[in-house]
Amino acid sequence: MAGTSSARIVLVVVFGVLALIGSAQAQLQMNFYASSRPKAEQIVLDYVKQHIPNAPSLAASFLRMHFHDCIVRGCDASVLLNSTSGQAEKNAVPNLTLRGFDFIERVKSLLEAECPGVVSCADILTLVARDSVVTTGGPFWNVPTGRRDGVISNITEANTNIPSPFHNFTTLLTLFSNQGLNLTDLVLLSGGHTIGISHCPAVSRRLYNSTGPGGIDPTMDSEYAENLKANKCK
């Protein structure tokens, strides 16, 4: 239980960090749509609660999508934009495995039917990420709204700024520093990954092709590495 509580605290702080990235683009406030479209946030929540239980792994996907969006030009939904030339953020290598775009589109359609042209896609993505985590048993945290959608989506910026699972610590710290984030932010945002799963190709080189005994990366916990080799990533 202690581990679960710690993970939940990490997730709350993670989104506190994400809320700060690019927040200068708009004056964020709680219940931004309360006077203009009071049903907006409830529409998002109702749809998430209806469908996420059927595909709970999407909670981690939306958490990841939200981070990938925020790390490039702030939380402006530019990761959702398409490009006829294939040069949008969505086409960048780190974003090729993002999923759930159709889910966001369906939520957007519901909101457009209720209140056309009011709720930004940036706020939709932020709310869906939070509500998905909550629906799958994670923590609740307050989400200020009022974000504005970006109109620039550049594949090069995404490839350059989004951290890679193969980056070393120094490179990761530099990428975070470029966003005005510090070591604590790096640790917290990395910890947010515990909501999802990792795929073997992301770690297999550290299990079989490293410099340690048996090909194991000597910086890994040896017992954990052997368990992965025996049971997960054969």
Q: What angle do CA 190, 191, 192 make, to 5 degrees?
A: 90
The answer on whether 198 is annotated among ligand-binding residues is no
Compute the half-sphere exposure of residue 64: CA atoms within 13 Å on the CB side of its CA.
23
User: Which pLDDT does position 197 carry in this prediction?
Assistant: 80
132: nearest Cα among 82, 215, 59, 33: 59
Residue 171 annotated as part of some ligand binding site: no
In degrees, rounded to 5, the angle at the alpha carbon of residue 169 between the alpha carbons of residues 94 and 183 is 100
- In the chain, CATH 1.10.520.10 covers 39-162
Q: Is residue 93 a known part of a binding site?
A: no
Low-confidence ranges of the chain (pLDDT < 70): 1-26
Crossing angle of helices 121-135 and 2-20, rounded to 10°: 180
What are the DSSP calls for 62-101, one per residue?
HHHHHHHHHTTTSSSSGGG---TTS-SGGGSGGGTT---H
In this prediction, residue 25 carries a pLDDT of 52
39-162 is a CATH 1.10.520.10 domain: yes
For residues 233, 191, 72, 34, the Cα torsion angle rounded to the nearest 10 degrees is 130
- Identity at 76, one-letter amino acid code: D
Q: Looking at the annotation, which residues are catalytic?
A: 68
pLDDT on residue 12: 56
In whole angstroms, how large is the CA radius of gyration of the chain?
19
Predicted pLDDT of residue 194: 78
Query: Is the separation of the CB atoms in 155 and 91 below 8 Å?
Result: yes
Give me the phi and psi of 165, to 5 degrees please. Answer: -65, -10
Count, residues in the chain: 234
pLDDT of residue 210: 86
142, amino acid identity:
N
In the prediction, which pLDDT does 189 show?
A: 85
What pLDDT shows up at residue 166? 83
Query: Would you state the pLDDT for residue 21?
Result: 61
pLDDT at 16: 60
